[in-house]
Homo-oligomer: A and B are copies of this chain.
Amino acid sequence: MVEKRKPIPVGEAVSRVIALAGSGKKERVHIEQSYGRTLAEDLRALHPVPPFDRSPYDGFAIRSKDSKHASKDHPVTFTITETIGAGFVASKKVNEFEAARIMTGAKMPEECDAVVMLELTTQTSKNGQESMSIKRAFKKGDNISFTGEDTKEGDVLVQKGTKITPGVVAVLATFGYEYVEVARKPLIGIYATGSELLDVSEELEPGKIRNSNAYMAAAQITAAGGEVRMLGKLDDELESCYASIREAINQVDILITTGGVSVGDFDFLPAIYDKLGAEVLFNKIAMRPGSVTTVAHLNGKLLFGLSGNPSACFVGFELYVRPVINLRLFKTKPHLLKVKARLSKDFPKPNPFTRFVRSKLSYEENGLFAAPNGFDKSSAVTSLAGADCFIVLPGGTRGYAEGDRIDVLLLESAEGSEWPWT
């Protein structure tokens, strides 16, 4: 059976998938478990920052009007009432010509409206009574960090859909978010197909190779913020394959299969999608590797038929599955971040399909460069190990030369692109 399939452009394929991405769900986690998750709500300031007028320096809190006549020739002397450390509040009223010694971050006494830095004062002690004197006037508001100066109550500090970094954790803690509303991780099942597959624990046999795609896709799911359900290997028989997949769909949010999507005699997936009554969104994309990537949709669930070739499987995941996970995590830029770089190698051979070349980005003195990471056949699993980006070479009638400016999609950026496809 050699079926004729019509390839569609990558952007069109991505559009069809994300139109059916579904929506995210929320759950609450303790702040100590929040790192790496994604905010399911805007993070708002629950109080102003600073929460009270405070001193930005070690110095003295005074009533500015008492300093009005201070000058080089006529210093004004203040009696020191006490020392206010950070975390403490004034215990005594600051009266006329009195000052409180105040530490960085401490709350201003009610009566005071200016801070004099330590180094602008002369301190004296007489009969156990400490005083300080100043030689210039201070104005109301001098050297005070005012309530809400950094942040007003209610301000959105971090937007919904943002990955929780250590900095975001700090902001959550500051505002007392002991529990955090995060996106629930979508549960994604993985079935490997292919009679040639051995499990990772099995000895090699003539003609067979080990199943690397399921473990790789599991790591990709984890990296993207999803939850993995390893479902094992599908049998070699259409009826039992069909039954296994029909059953799996009910257990997960999204189902991935690897292999079985080509047009060979042993490629069952097209027949299974048909038997399930699933709507096939596409079964051929104008891209290399991964042209046979097939996506179907059934009862609100997406079924990703990724290629059995490791690199094609990898690319198919990053281009089609990852944005769906990202949308379920409320991310607004769900696609791989696209940046400009220069090619560090010739690609003389033209190709009608858009190529995604597993590559390594380098930050050189004269800009960003991207170099293909070794061997680039869809079967070369070893080239995946060091890749941190894809070079995108649009299909057409010409090849590409070293130094050409090209688009690069970053695999490990927390940032994304809104729409990298033209």
Residues of A within 8 A of B (CB): 31-32, 34-36, 43, 45, 47, 49, 51-52, 56, 58, 83-89, 103-107, 145, 150-151, 157-158, 162, 164-178, 194-197, 200-204, 206-220, 222-223, 230, 264-266, 310, 314, 337, 339-340, 358, 363, 365, 367-368, 375, 377, 379-382, 384-388, 412-415
Contact = CB atoms under 8 A, between A and B. Distances in A.
18 contacts: A32-B215, A43-B385, A47-B204, A85-B196, A87-B196, A87-B209, A105-B196, A145-B379, A150-B375, A158-B385, A165-B388, A167-B358, A173-B214, A174-B382, A175-B210, A177-B200, A178-B200, A340-B363
Contact of A35 (B56, B175, B177, B222): B222
A206 B170 contact: no
B412 A414 contact: yes
B207 A52 contact: yes
Given A87-B197, A385-B167, A388-B414, A173 B212 contact: yes
Given A86-B195, A368-B368, A209 B265 contact: no
Q: Which of A220, A266, A363, A365 has the most CB of B within 10 A?
A: A363
A368 B363 contact: yes
A382 B151 contact: yes
Given A35-B223, A209-B174, A211-B173, A216 B52 contact: no
Contact of A380 (B150, B165, B381): B150
A36 B228 CA distance: 15
B166 A216 contact: yes
Contact of A103 (B151, B162, B167, B264): B264
Contacts of A52: 206-207
A84 B230 CA distance: 29
Contacts of A217: 166
| Stoichiometry (number of copies) | 2
Given A216-B169, A314-B166, A207 B31 contact: no
Contacts of A175: 210
A116 to B, nearest CB: 17
Given A167-B387, A195-B86, A382-B157, A107 B207 contact: yes
Contacts of A204: 47, 51, 176
A373 to B, nearest CB: 9
Contact of A200 (B157, B162, B176): B176
A265 B86 contact: no
A212 B83 contact: no
Contacts of A207: 52, 84, 86-89, 106-107
